[in-house]
Amino acid sequence: MLALASVHLQGFEFGIDNNVFHVPIVLRWYDLPQFSHDPVIQSLRHYATPVFPLLGLFTDASNIAAVFHAAFLLTRALTIFALLAVMRSFGLRGPWLAVAGAASIFVSALYGETAIGRDELLVDIFTHTALAQAVALLSIAALVRGKLTLAAIATGLTFDLNAMVGIWMLAPLGLVLAVHLRKPGAWRTIVRAGAAFSATALPVALWIGLSQKFSAPAFDYRSYLQAYYPYHFFIGWADWPARIALLLQLASGFLAATLLPRHRANAALILLALAVLFGAGVVVGQTSHSRLFLNLHLLRADGMLTWMAVPLVLTASVAALARKAFVPAIGAIVAVAGLIAADWRLVLFGLLLQAGARLMARRQPGRVNAVARQPLLLAAIGAASLLALATQTRYSAMPAPPGPHDVPSDQQLAGLSPRAPEWREVTRWAEAATPPDALFIIPPKLDFVAPRRIWVDWKEGAAVMWAPDIYATWHARSMELSSLRSAPAVLAYACRHHIDYAVFDRRPGRALTGTDALSRPLFVNRWFAVFRVPACREAGRLSG
Average pLDDT over residues 499-517: 91
User: Within 13 Å, how many C-alpha atoms sit on residue 48's CB side?
Assistant: 24
Average pLDDT over residues 83-107: 93
Quick: pLDDT tens for 216-239. Answer: 899 999 999 999 999 999 999 999
Quick: pLDDT tens for 340-398. Answer: 989 999 999 999 888 887 777 666 655 545 444 455 445 555 555 555 555 555 544 44
Q: What pLDDT does 187 receive?
A: 81
Residue whose C-alpha is closest to residue 161's, from 153, 150, 171: 153
Task: Give the list of residues 6+ apart from residue 119 with CB closer than 8 angstroms, or none.
Answer: 113, 129, 232, 297, 300, 301, 302, 303, 304, 306
Average pLDDT over residues 85-103: 93
Quick: pLDDT tens for 270-288. Answer: 999 999 999 999 999 999 9
Do residues 18 and 461 lie in contact, with contact meaning Cβ atoms separated by under 8 Å?
no
Task: Give the list of residues 6+ apart from residue 531 with CB closer than 8 angstroms, or none.
Answer: 491, 501, 502, 504, 518, 520, 521, 522
pLDDT at 419 over 50: yes
DSSP labels, 256-321: HHHT-SS-HHHHHHHHHHHHHHHHHHHHHHHH---HHHHTT-GGGGHHHHHHHHHHHHHHHHHHHH
The conformation of residue 452, written as its DSSP 8-state character, comes to S
How far is the C-alpha of 489 from the C-alpha of 495, rounded, in Å? 10
Q: What pLDDT does 416 receive?
A: 76
Average pLDDT, the chain: 88
pLDDT at 326 over 80: no
Quick: pLDDT tens for 443-463. Answer: 988 988 889 999 999 999 999
Average pLDDT over residues 293-305: 96
How far is the C-alpha of 274 from the C-alpha of 236, rounded, in Å? 20
Q: What pLDDT does 190 receive?
A: 85
How far is the C-alpha of 463 from the C-alpha of 457, rounded, in Å? 11
Q: What pLDDT does 397 receive?
A: 47
pLDDT at 327 over 70: yes
Average pLDDT over residues 318-322: 89
Quick: pLDDT tens for 20-78. Answer: 999 999 999 999 999 999 999 999 998 999 999 999 999 999 999 999 999 999 999 99
Q: What pLDDT does 387 receive?
A: 55
If one compares 212 and 152, the residue with the highest pLDDT of the two is 152
